[in-house]
Chain A
Amino acid sequence: GQQLNQSPQSMFIQEGEDVSMNCTSSSIFNTWLWYKQDPGEGPVLLIALYKAGELTSNGRLTAQFGITRKDSFLNISASIPSDVGIYFCAANNAGNMLTFGGGTRLMVKP
């Protein structure tokens, strides 16, 4: 089946640092999404990307849909303690099924 390889698996950074994580696949996707999951909660959509090459920002978050349609990255600038959580990439083609990456656990040291 289709798989998304997300890296890194975890990051431990200092408050104020920038963060970068990415997702790659051997399959082409039409939509890439980035979610954040806090402990005990469901995933919350951060950014949705619909076109190859698209670069979209949401506050301190910036994500890009790779030109090959097989990858995406998420950057967080000037991290703050509340950025702590697990970040998931997800992607889909036609149909309803979202495929999720394995997640990046972000820890921020004040």
Chain B
Amino acid sequence: EPEVTQTPSHQVTQMGQEVILRCVPISNHLYFYWYRQILGQKVEFLVSFYNNEISEKSEIFDDQFSVERPDGSNFTLKIRSTKLEDSAMYFCATGVLSRNEKLFFGSGTQLSVL
């Protein structure tokens, strides 16, 4: 069964450092999303991406965050200058339809900011 692949599975970084989280979507999927889940809390929407541009973003997705699909395969989330409160599990999700209920989630990247 096709799956969304995320790397790394764990990332530890110092506050103020830049991190890039990577996602390889399922091959025929066109809609890409990042969600995050702070430990013990609900899953929160960050951003959606279609046709090489952001289609929607939440209040969490401020100027420190950016997304791109540089080579047509990897879908990346960059946090420019990490803060302690950025520590969370970050999930990439992809879908073939614009109705995002048909989303397939990756296993996540656990980001720890020290």
Q: Are A96 and B42 in contact (CB under 8 A)?
A: no
Chain A interface main SS type: loop
Q: Are A103 and B56 in contact (CB under 8 A)?
A: no
Shortest distance in angstroms between A48's beta carbon and chain B's nearest beta carbon?
A: 5
Given A88-B43, A101-B42, A103-B42, are A96 and B101 also a contact pair (CB < 8 Å)?
A: no
Q: Are B108 and A92 in contact (CB under 8 A)?
A: no
Partner of A40 from B41, B58, B105, B107 at Cβ < 8 Å: B107
* One of B14-22, B63-71, B79-87, B91-99 contacting the partner: B91-99
B48 beta carbon closer than 8 Å to chain A: yes
- Of residues 90 through 106 on chain A, the ones whose CB sits less than 8 Å from some CB of chain B are 90, 92, 95-103
Interface residues on A, range: 20 to 34
In the complex, per-residue mask of A30-64: 1 if CB is within 8 Å of any chain B CB, else 0: 01010000001111110010000000000000000
Enumerate chain A residues within 8 angstroms of B106, measured Cβ to Cβ: 42
Enumerate chain A residues within 8 angstroms of B58, measured Cβ to Cβ: 97
Please give me the 7 A-B residue pairs with the lowest Cβ-Cβ distance, nearest first. A42-B105, A96-B48, A100-B43, A97-B45, A48-B101, A96-B56, A100-B42
Residues of B within 8 A of A (CB): 4, 31, 33, 35, 41-45, 48, 55-56, 58-59, 91, 93, 98-103, 105-108
Residues of A within 8 A of B (CB): 1, 31, 33, 40-45, 48, 88, 90, 92, 95-103
